[in-house]
Amino acid sequence: MKKLFRSSSDSTLTGLCGGIAQYMNADPTVIRVLTVIAALFSFGSVVFIYIIASLIVPKEPYNNIPYSNHYHY
């Protein structure tokens, strides 16, 4: 069963959009752009929900962080 976590490896502010993107198997940039657009048109309610969700959703455990070898050893 998949769980929603704030991403440790793909975070800009709190990792919430990165975690949602990992949960939905989507591109994090798309989730971030949709969040910004929703925040602009919601008169600040999405910002409030984002802050609350960032406090509620747990941080990704260390053992769940996907290993990426950028140096290709």
Identify residue 67 by its one-letter amino acid code: Y
Identify residue 40 by its one-letter amino acid code: L
pTM of the entire predicted model: 0.78
pLDDT at 44: 85
pLDDT at 36: 94
pLDDT at 60: 85
Taking only the tens place, the pLDDT of each residue in 3-56 is 899 988 888 889 999 999 999 999 999 999 999 999 999 988 999 999 999 999
Identify residue 36 by its one-letter amino acid code: V
Provide the phi-psi class of 61: left if phi over 0, else alpha when psi is between -120 and 50, else beta: beta
Other C-beta atoms lying within 10 Å of the C-beta of residue 66: 10
pLDDT at 66: 59
Other C-beta atoms lying within 10 Å of the C-beta of residue 29: 13
Other C-beta atoms lying within 10 Å of the C-beta of residue 17: 26
